[in-house]
Amino acid sequence: MTAARGVLLCPITMGVLLQSLFILILLLLGSCLHPAAAFPKGCYPSEEEGLKTFRCSNAQLTEVPRDIPNDTNKLYLDFNQIPFLPHDAFRDLPLLLELDLSHNAITRIESGAFQGLAEHLHSLDLSSNRLVSVSKDAFSNLKTKVNLSNNPWLCDCRLQELIRAVELVADSSGGIVCDSSTQEEHVGKAFLQVIADTDFCNVYKKTTDIAMLVTMFGWFAMVISYLVYYVRQNQEDARRHLEYLKSLPSKQRRSEESSTISTVV
């Protein structure tokens, strides 16, 4: 009886062990095939119109996440609190077509932030951020259409160079408004309306040229003043010395006069 029970329990135990091992293998495979657990909270992958999409909209992000699948075609990082875009922020996304960074707190874009996206990216949304001034070099080699509307722009030569270097999204140019400007009368006006009558870069060049001329004139005036002072001082010293010589006896005076004349010459 006991032997029969042992024979019966043995296959049951083996069955339980095999079942546990099978479940463990499934869990390990699942963690490798579905890395979604590594995604930031509020982010998830999906497929839209045949394009691989990664959404992190309104996920309270304070930086660009690093665990984005590198085959992503559309990336949504809108409505977060991202303050700046560092160098190589999107370097591992060679197939990215669309990038939405609207409604963040971006104040700074480092040169090379979009490095690696030039080949495929065709839509970049930076609207409704806190951009005041951005170098055109930040968008170097990009052929994408860019939305720069609803930012507190400083209207100056730098913004003028940026606008000329990028292709704006259709109907977005009216949203690029001067929040501040090197010329007070431009505040509150659309930038493209302003540069129709004002060349900020030409004004800047003229201002720089005038400043250089003023500086050079100042140095020239200082040199002339010093030379005049030096000549007058030497003349005064010579006059005093001659008057002193006149008061001496004639023989000693002739000797020192010749010495003074040779010195002056």
Model confidence over 221-256: pLDDT tens digits? 676 766 666 666 677 666 766 666 566 666 555 555
The verdict on 79 and 176 lying in the same domain is yes
DSSP state of 196: T
Q: What is the pLDDT of residue 33?
A: 43
pLDDT < 70 regions, the chain = 1-37, 203-221, 223, 225-233, 236-238, 240-265
Q: Which domain holds residue 206?
A: 199-235
In a domain? residue 18: no
The domain total for the chain is 2
CATH code of the domain containing 94:
3.80.10.10
Q: What is the pLDDT of residue 146?
A: 97
Distances (CA, A) of 81 to 37, 63, 69: 22, 8, 21
The verdict on 191 and 108 lying in the same domain is yes
Q: What is the pLDDT of residue 190?
A: 95
Instruction: Kindly write down the DSSP assignment for every residue of 61-84, as one continuous string.
Output: -SS--S---TT-SEEE--SS---E
Q: Percent of the chain scored above 70 by pLDDT? A: 63
The verdict on 94 and 221 lying in the same domain is no
pLDDT in tens, 52-63: 999 999 999 999
Torsion of CA 160, 176, 117, 144, to 10 degrees: -90
In a domain? residue 244: no
In a domain? residue 136: yes
In a domain? residue 29: no
In a domain? residue 2: no
The verdict on 170 and 133 lying in the same domain is yes
Q: What is the pLDDT of residue 1?
A: 47
Residue 120 near residue 95 (C-beta atoms within 8 A): yes
Q: State the Cα–Cα distance between residues 67 and 63, nearest whole angstrom.
A: 12
Q: State the Cα–Cα distance between residues 109 and 129, nearest whole angstrom.
A: 11
